[in-house]
C-alpha cells in the first residue's frame, strides 16, 4: 500500500500488486486482477542470470509479473516499508491523516502492519549469527537486487546516497538491518522488548498486525521448529 500525494491534488491510498505468474497463464491472472478492480499498468519480465531447473518441458530463464494498481480509499490496509522507527511512525501518522481525508477515522496503528525478521538465540550473538546465515543471506543474494534494501535507509544516507541513487550492495550489512529495526535478533526477552516497542508504535499508538518473515528452507528442520515454538510460547501470548 502506498500513499500518493501530489501538489494540488487530494491524497489517495494506492494499492499496488506485483503478481508473478506463468507466461501461459498471463490472461487468467490479468482477468482475476480486473475482477478485483485492479488496473494492470505493465508487465515486468525478470531475466535471470541462469535458467531455473524444473519439471517442465523447457527450463525458462525469465519470469513475467503483472504490475497493477487500485485506488481504494475505503478498505485499504498499509504495510509500511520503511523500517527505521522515526520514519516508520511518521508514515503511520501520515496514513491516518490521509485516511481521515477520505472519511475513514482510524486510531493510530489501525489497518497498519509491520513486517520483520525474528531470530531467537540463547545469546544475542547466537541469534545474530542465525540471522546472518538465513534471512540476511536471502536479502543479500536475492531480494536486495529488486531494491528491497531501500527500506533500510538511515538518516545519514540522504546526503551520501540521495535518491534516485540506491544503496550499493556494500551497504547491505547485518548492522544496518539491525539498526533499521528490521532484524529483531536476540534472546526471547530481547526480542519481546523490540516487538513491544513496535506494537505500541514506540508509545504512540497500537499496531494492528505483525508479519514475521520466517526463513523456511534456510534453516535445519529442528531449528525451524525451535524458532516457531519460542515465538508461539513467548511472543504470541504477550500480544494477543
Q: Do 110 and 57 share a structural domain?
A: no
Which of 71, 98, 117 terminates a domain? The answer is 71
DSSP 122-139: SSHHHHHHHHHHTHHHHH
Most confident among 46-55, 63-72, 151-160, 179-188 (mean pLDDT): 179-188
Q: Is there a contact between 98 and 169 (Cβ–Cβ < 8 Å)?
A: no
Q: Do 97 and 50 share a structural domain?
A: no
Q: Encode pLDDT of 189-232 as tens digits.
A: 999 999 999 999 888 899 888 989 887 678 899 999 999 999 99
- Average pLDDT score over residue span 167-194: 96
Q: Encode pLDDT of 37-67 as tens digits.
A: 889 999 999 888 788 777 778 888 899 999 9
Looking up residue 124, the CATH number of its domain turns out to be: 3.20.20.30
Which of 52, 71, 90 terminates a domain? The answer is 71
Buried b (16+ CB within 10 A) or exposed e, 78-91: bebebbbeebbbeb
Q: Do 143 and 162 share a structural domain?
A: yes
Q: Do 67 and 83 share a structural domain?
A: no
Selected residue with higher pLDDT from 13 and 170 = 170
Q: Do 104 and 165 share a structural domain?
A: yes
Confidence band of 1 (pLDDT split at 50, 70, 90): very low
Q: How many domains does the chain have?
A: 2
Q: Do 225 and 149 share a structural domain?
A: yes
Q: Do 165 and 64 share a structural domain?
A: no
Residue 65 is predicted with a pLDDT of: 94
Q: Do 225 and 162 share a structural domain?
A: yes
Q: What residue numbers bound the domain in which 27 lies?
A: 2-71
Which of 23, 40, 71 terminates a domain? The answer is 71
Residues in the chain: 240
- Average pLDDT score over residue span 133-150: 88
CA dist 30 and 38 (Å) reads 9
Amino acid at each position: 500500500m502506498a500513499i500518493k500525494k501530489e501538489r494540488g491534488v487530494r491524497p489517495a491510498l494506492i494499492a499496488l500488486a506485483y503478481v508473478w505468474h506463468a507466461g501461459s497463464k498471463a490472461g487468467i491472472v490479468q482477468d482475476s486482477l480486473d475482477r478485483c478492480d485492479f488496473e494492470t499498468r505493465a508487465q515486468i519480465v525478470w531475466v535471470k542470470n541462469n535458467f531455473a531447473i524444473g519439471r517442465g518441458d523447457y527450463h525458462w530463464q525469465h519470469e513475467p509479473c503483472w504490475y497493477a494498481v487500485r485506488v481504494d480509499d475505503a478498505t485499504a490496509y498499509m504495510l509500511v516499508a520503511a523500517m527505521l522507527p522515526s520514519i516508520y511512525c511518521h508514515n503511520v501518522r501520515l496514513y491516518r491523516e490521509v485516511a481521515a481525508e477520505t472519511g475513514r477515522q482510524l486510531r493510530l496503528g489501525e489497518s497498519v502492519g509491520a513486517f520483520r525478521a525474528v531470530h531467537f538465540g540463547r545469546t544475542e550473538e547466537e541469534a545474530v549469527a542465525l540471522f546472518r546465515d538465513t534471512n540476511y543471506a536471502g536479502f543479500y543474494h536475492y531480494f536486495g537486487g529488486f531494491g528491497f534494501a531501500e527500506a533500510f535507509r538511515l538518516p545519514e544516507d540522504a546526503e551520501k546516497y540521495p535518491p534516485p541513487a540506491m544503496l550499493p550492495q556494500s551497504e547491505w550489512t547485518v548492522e544496518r538491518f539491525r539498526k533499521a529495526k528490521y532484524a529483531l535478533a536476540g534472546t526471547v526477552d530481547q526480542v519481546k522488548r523490540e516487538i513491544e516497542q513496535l506494537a505500541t508504535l514506540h508509545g504512540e499508538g497500537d499496531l494492528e498486525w505483525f508479519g514475521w518473515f520466517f526463513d523456511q528452507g534456510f534453516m535445519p528442520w529442528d531449528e525451524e521448529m525451535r524458532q516457531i515454538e519460542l515465538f508461539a510460547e513467548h511472543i504470541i501470548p504477550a500480544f494477543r
